[in-house]
Amino acid sequence: MVGIFDNPQLLLFFIFGGVLVAGALGVVFHPNPISSAVLLVLSFFALAGIYAIIGSVFVATMQVLVYAGAIMVLVVFVLMLLSLHDEGIAKLWDHPLKKVLVLSVVVLLAVVLIHSVREGVPNTEASPKGYSDSGSYEYTLSKSEEGKAGVIAEGNTAAVGSSMFLDYLLPFEIVSILLLAAVLGAVILGKKNLGKKTEEGEP
């Protein structure tokens, strides 16, 4: 039996996975929103490391550039705009109904996670997309016909891009709309808070 220290890939997975879990718990339970944002950046970097371990170099790069970079700058900007304080987060536990709601969501997510781990990856018998028989990154755009060669996108970036905009175009656009709605909602809430402070005579 091969030990964990004899397999560097497995060892790195457990290291990054532990950092990811610890950072995620810190995001949820830390009372300071800015500190939670910093821990979220740490979680993004750990997740990028896991993507790199399994060979998804393009996804790992985008995880660092987009989420750990641009998205987190936006999150910190929104936090500063809303002027959140420690006591504002602590008020969440003052109401018993909110406690029950939060704990119910946590229990539901835990049940789903345990069920997913037990069931494993679905459709394991289906051939994975983006891989050739030799194990290289390839995505078939059109099959070969008589006298015509098929079109194949080669490389990790080409395979991910082709699959995203051909197989998963609708989910991609839905996520874009949700992110836009979240940004607009944060700006509207920030303007309301600024209006209240102006009426109360705060600087």
pLDDT for 169-189, tens place per residue? 888 899 889 888 887 887 777
In 3D, which of 183, 186, 161 has the Cα closest to residue 172? Answer: 161
In 3D, which of 79, 65, 63 has the Cα closest to residue 27? Answer: 79
Q: Which domains does the chain have, with CATH numbers?
A: 1-83 (1.20.120.1200), 135-191 (no CATH)
Average pLDDT, the chain: 76
Maximum pairwise Cα distance, the chain:
78
**Is 59's pLDDT higher than 70?**
yes
Contact (Cβ atoms closer than 8 angstroms) between residue 156 and residue 56: yes
Contact (Cβ atoms closer than 8 angstroms) between residue 152 and residue 138: yes
pLDDT band with cut points at 50, 70 and 90 for residue 20: very high
Residue 103: the pLDDT is 85
Phi and psi of 83, rounded to 5°?
Answer: 55, 50
Report the alpha-carbon distance of residue 175 to residue 180 in Å, rounded: 9
Residue 145: the pLDDT is 66
Residue 61: the pLDDT is 87
Residue 1: the pLDDT is 45
Residue 127: the pLDDT is 61
Q: 106-120, 173-187, 189-203: which has the highest mean pLDDT? A: 173-187
Residue 175: the pLDDT is 87
Residue 49: the pLDDT is 92
Q: Show the tokens assigned to 180.
A: 């836009």
Convert the pLDDT of each residue in 41-57 to its tens digit.
Answer: 899 999 999 998 887 88
**Is 82's pLDDT higher than 70?**
no
pLDDT band with cut points at 50, 70 and 90 for residue 5: low
